[in-house]
Amino acid sequence: MSERKSIQDIMSEVLDDFYGTPGPSPEPKDPAGSGSETPAHADETAGTDGGADGAADLNGGAGDSAGSAEETGSAKAAPESEAAADEPSGMEQLDELIGLTTIKEDVRELVNLVKMQKLREEQGLKSAPVSLHLVFSGNPGTGKTTVARILAKIYKEIGVLSGGQLVEVDRSGLVAGYIGQTAIKTQEKIQEAMGGILFIDEAYTLAKEGSDFGQEAIDTILKAMEDNRKDFVVIVAGYTDLMEDFIGSNPGLKSRFNKYMEFPDYTVEELMAIFDLNCKKYDYELSEEAGKTVQEAIETMAQEKGENFANAREVRNFFETIITDQACRIAEIESPTAEQIKTILPEDVLKGLKKSEEAEPAEDAEEEAAEEAAEEAAEDAEETAEPAEDAEPAGETE
C-alpha cells in the first residue's frame, strides 16, 4: 500500500508542476462515465463539448491553471458565438437589399436547386450536374458585386464552397504585358479564389481582337473551372450587350456560362431609399425641404440618365457631395449643436446638385476624347499593318 501511495504522490507532483493544479483523482476512471468526475486537465483538452473548439481555445494558454484556462476559453468563445448569432445569414442579407426583386428570386431558385442536389447525393440518389458559374449583366451600380459577395456567403453556408470568399478582379488583375506572364498572374488569382468565387468585372475586355494576352487569361480560367468543379465558382459581369458578345465569342465560355442574371436599373423610389439608407447609416437627417429637393434631384437624374448612369453609385456620389458642402457650412458656425451637425438643409443639396451638373460635361468630354484617341490608334495600327501582311499584328509588349 505504501508503494502505491508513493507512486500516486509522484504522479500528483508531476501533474501539479505541469498543470498548476492537483493531479487526477486516484479513483480508477469509470469507462461508462457513471458517477465519476472528469479530471480538470481533461476538460482543458476536450473543451466543454469534447470537440476541437475547446482545444483550440488553449492555444495561447499553456501554464495557466485549469480554472483560468476554462474561464479564458469561455470568454473567447462567448463573443465569437454571439457575433456569429448576431450576423444575418446570406439569404437575410439578400432580402435586406433595396429592390432587385427578380435577382432575389433567381438566387433563391438557384440555391434551392443546389440544396436539393446535395440532398439527393446524401440519400444515394443520382443528381443532375448544376453549373454554379454565372453571368451578371446590367449597368454600373446595380448591385452586381454586392450580390456576388452574398452568394459566396450562401454557398459556404449550404456547404457548396469551403471558403466563401469573393475575389474581385478586372482585366488589369489578370493580364500581364509579357509572354508567359498572363497565365501566372491569372493562376495566382484563381488560387486566391479557390474555395470561393472569382468575380471578373468588365470581363468582355479580355476578348479584344488581334494579338492580345486576354485570351490566355480566358483559357487559364476555363481550365481551372474544368479542373475544380466542386470548390470554385466564376462570375463574369458587365454591360448586357457586351457580355452577350463576350460569351458568344468563345465556345468554351458559352458551354460553361449558361445562367444569366440581368440586374435592372433602380427606380426613383429605390434610388431615394438608397439615399435615405446612407443618411441613416452615417447619422444624417434631411430637413423637410431638403428631402423634397433631394427627391426632385433624383427624379431628374433618373429621367435624364445617359449610358454612363451609375445608379446606386451615382446616388452615393451625390450624397458625399452634399455632406461635403454641409460640412463646409457647419464649419463656419461657432460651437454647433449635434442637431445642426447632423441636419442637411436645402442649400447643401442645391450646392451638391450644382457641382454634379458641372462635373458631368467634363466627364463626358474626357470619355469622348478617350474614345476618339482609341479609334485613331486603331486606324493607325491597321494602316501600319496593311503593307506587311506577314508581319505580326500589334499587341502588348513581348
Q: Which of 63-72, 92-101, 350-359 has the highest mean pLDDT?
A: 92-101
pLDDT at residue 240, as a whole number:
93
Considering the domain architecture, whether residues 296 and 363 belong to the same structural domain is answered as: yes
Considering the domain architecture, whether residues 118 and 219 belong to the same structural domain is answered as: yes
Which parts of the chain fold into alpha helices (H)?
2-19, 40-46, 52-56, 66-86, 90-96, 101-122, 144-157, 171-174, 181-193, 214-227, 240-248, 251-256, 268-281, 288-303, 312-331, 338-342, 346-385
Considering the domain architecture, whether residues 201 and 292 belong to the same structural domain is answered as: no
Q: Half-sphere exposure of residue 299, counting CA atoms within 13 Å on the CB side? A: 6
Using alpha carbons, select from 59, 84, 201, 81 the residue that is nearest to residue 136.
201
Considering the domain architecture, whether residues 177 and 127 belong to the same structural domain is answered as: yes
Higher local confidence (pLDDT), 271 or 356 = 271
Q: Is residue 382 part of a domain?
A: no
Which residues constitute the domain of residue 192?
A: 90-263
Considering the domain architecture, whether residues 126 and 225 belong to the same structural domain is answered as: yes
Q: Which of 77-91, 126-140, 158-172, 340-354 has the lowest mean pLDDT?
A: 77-91
Considering the domain architecture, whether residues 256 and 290 belong to the same structural domain is answered as: no
Given a cut of 80, whether residue 53 has pLDDT beyond it is no
Phi, psi of 391 (to 5 degrees): -70, 150
Considering the domain architecture, whether residues 319 and 218 belong to the same structural domain is answered as: no
Higher local confidence (pLDDT), 288 or 353 = 288
pLDDT at residue 375, as a whole number:
52
Q: Which of 44-58, 143-157, 267-281, 340-354 has the lowest mean pLDDT?
A: 44-58
Edge-to-edge strand ranges of the sheet holding 233-238: 166-169, 197-201, 233-238, 134-138, 260-263
Considering the domain architecture, whether residues 278 and 184 belong to the same structural domain is answered as: no
Cα distance between residue 87 and residue 81, in whole Å: 10
Q: Is residue 369 part of a domain?
A: yes
pLDDT at residue 305, as a whole number:
86
Considering the domain architecture, whether residues 18 and 98 belong to the same structural domain is answered as: no
**Does residue 397 come out as left (phi exceeding 0), alpha (psi in the -120 to 50 range) or beta?**
beta
Q: Is residue 38 part of a domain?
A: yes
Considering the domain architecture, whether residues 121 and 257 belong to the same structural domain is answered as: yes
Considering the domain architecture, whether residues 34 and 165 belong to the same structural domain is answered as: no
pLDDT tier at 209, thresholds 50, 70, 90: low
Section 188-195 average pLDDT: 97
Domain count, the chain: 3
Q: Is residue 309 part of a domain?
A: yes
Contacts of 16 (CB under 8 A, 6+ apart): 22, 23
Say which residue the cell 491553471 belongs to: 65
Using alpha carbons, select from 250, 292, 251 the residue that is nearest to residue 272.
292
pTM of the model: 0.68
Tell me the CATH number at 158.
3.40.50.300
Q: Half-sphere exposure of residue 302, counting CA atoms within 13 Å on the CB side? A: 17
Considering the domain architecture, whether residues 317 and 358 belong to the same structural domain is answered as: yes
Tell me the CATH number at 349.
1.10.8.60
